[in-house]
A and B are shown apart, each in its own frame.
Chain A
Amino acid sequence: MKQIWSAVALLAVTGSAHAAFSDYSRWLTLTEWKVEQSNVTGTSELFTLNGRQYERFNLTISPTAIGYWPIQGFSLRGNLSNQAFLTHLHLGELTYVIKHDYHDGTDPEIGVSLDYFHQLGGREYSVGKLFETVAEYPLVETTTETRPYLYTQTFRGAFGGPEQAFYSSLKAWQMGCCNSFTVPEIELSFVANPVPEPETYALMGTGLLAGLLVRRRKQLGKSQCDEVQA
């Protein structure tokens, strides 16, 4: 009996916790460089569609830029479970500029690799890019800009679509003194089945408790009968 009471007490304690925004991590997995330092902000809200309750998460993610010479940049991957429905994905604009002076004697071997895309099922949708180069020997300046990428879908109550992911990564070697890049923000919204509220657990716990008690009583009653017969 003591055990059961302590279980109930535990349920009462969890009751003070609320279904929270931080639950997003049940569906969205963030990986790659210094993920724990990435700035993730947002909200979650419950809504009803066709008589059923769902939870919507709205997130804004800013990857952390790191700089270990000679590599600089950022890298963030997000994988969304197919038990969540992506309604909105906005991959923000990114710009990077590389300036080089062929006369100042620095190593011109500057390499930048940019991977910035939305993965839907087996397909990758890269953000659009624009390249600009201004050159007057010995100075060369190149600018790469991305167009913002927007994906939207309407949630109609079904889960289990294709796997979705996004990847935002810029890795630069030898960025030198005068080069720069911006870190784009990623905004997304997804819908998931609501995380059971603590009240639900409490109700379930009470039900289990009642079941146990009934069973105990029955067992007790039965043994009494046996005694009488004996």
Chain B
Amino acid sequence: MMKPMIAAMGLLLATQVHAQFSDYQRYLTVSDGASFSGDSQRVRYEGQLFESFTLRFNLTPLAEQQNDIGQQLTFGLNLKLSDQAFLERIQIQSASANVVLSEDPSLPHMYPYPGVANGDVTFVSQLGTRKRTVDFTGTRRNSWLSYTLGGGSYRLSQEFDSQAPWIPYALDYQQHIQLDQMGWSWSPGYAQLSFLAPVAPVPEPETYALMSAGLLALVLRRRRAKKS
């Protein structure tokens, strides 16, 4: 008699449990080595219930090494969202490196970067058949004597409505930064992803009551059979 009681209690408790953030794994595949945190919450759009997941990524280097030129950094992130989820927003800010050169009166007022530091950033964003590739390459001069590598960003968002198509989404971000000995400092990038997932209708308490009544009846019947 104890076991069925425990089972019934378990069922009752199950109704209290909320959809968990860890459910994101049912919809989203994240490349190895990514560090992130996230949460989820219930939202309602046009009378429909959804679980809205938000993930925040710290884009720390996947590889970091020294070579003859200087420090070399490699970053990357790959996300795949299934068509069982609806992409609300993806925002990705690449890592950036900065240097301010000391003033040299012999140099012209504004001049191209004199060193060998270089870098490239690629974002490939694909929503259904809509594909966008963005390349950022090289060093840029921000102002007199101040230079930047990387720092480009990409953002995609779409509005939800009942007619919106649910299509898969994929993002691939890759970045390389090769620094030289001019005194660069760098900071990692970040990314944030939000998506909607359908909420399975939660069984009504009545359903559970009916089910446990059935279970109880079965148990009683078994007991009676045993007795006789």
- Where the two chains meet, the residues of A that have a C-beta atom closer than 8 Å to any C-beta of B are 126, 128-137, 147, 149-150
- Where the two chains meet, the residues of B that have a C-beta atom closer than 8 Å to any C-beta of A are 127, 130, 132, 134, 136, 140, 142, 148, 151-159, 161, 163-165
Q: How far does the Cβ of B163 sit from chain A's closest Cβ, in whole Å?
A: 7
* A-B pair number, CB within 8 angstroms: 49
Q: Is the CB of B152 within 8 A of A128?
A: no
- 29 CB < 8 A contacts A-B: A126-B161, A128-B159, A128-B161, A128-B163, A128-B164, A130-B157, A130-B159, A131-B156, A131-B158, A132-B132, A132-B154, A132-B155, A132-B156, A133-B153, A133-B154, A133-B156, A134-B152, A134-B153, A134-B154, A135-B154, A135-B155, A136-B140, A136-B151, A137-B140, A137-B148, A137-B151, A147-B165, A149-B163, A150-B163
Q: Is the CB of A133 within 8 A of B155?
A: yes
A190 to B148, CA, bound (A): 59
**Main secondary structure on B side of the interface with A:** strand
A129 to B164, CA, bound (A): 9
Residue of B nearest to A132 (CB): B156
Please judge, given known A-B contacts A147-B163, A147-B164, whether A128 and B151 are in contact too, CB under 8 Å. no
Q: Is the CB of B136 within 8 A of A136?
A: yes
Given contacts A130-B156, A131-B156, list 8 more A-B pairs with CB under 8 A.
A130-B127, A133-B153, A133-B155, A133-B156, A134-B155, A136-B136, A136-B140, A137-B151
Please judge, given known A-B contacts A128-B163, A147-B164, A149-B163, whether A136 and B158 are in contact too, CB under 8 Å. no
Q: How far does the Cβ of B174 sit from chain A's closest Cβ, in whole Å?
A: 16
Chain A residues with Cβ under 8 A from B132's Cβ?
Answer: 132
Chain A residues with Cβ under 8 A from B136's Cβ?
Answer: 136
Chain A residues with Cβ under 8 A from B142's Cβ?
Answer: 137
Q: How far does the Cβ of A141 sit from chain B's closest Cβ, in whole Å?
A: 9
Chain A residues with Cβ under 8 A from B134's Cβ?
Answer: 134
Chain A residues with Cβ under 8 A from B154's Cβ?
Answer: 132-135
Q: Is the CB of B158 within 8 A of A128?
A: yes
Q: How far does the Cβ of B48 sit from chain A's closest Cβ, in whole Å?
A: 15
Q: Is the CB of B155 within 8 A of A130?
A: no
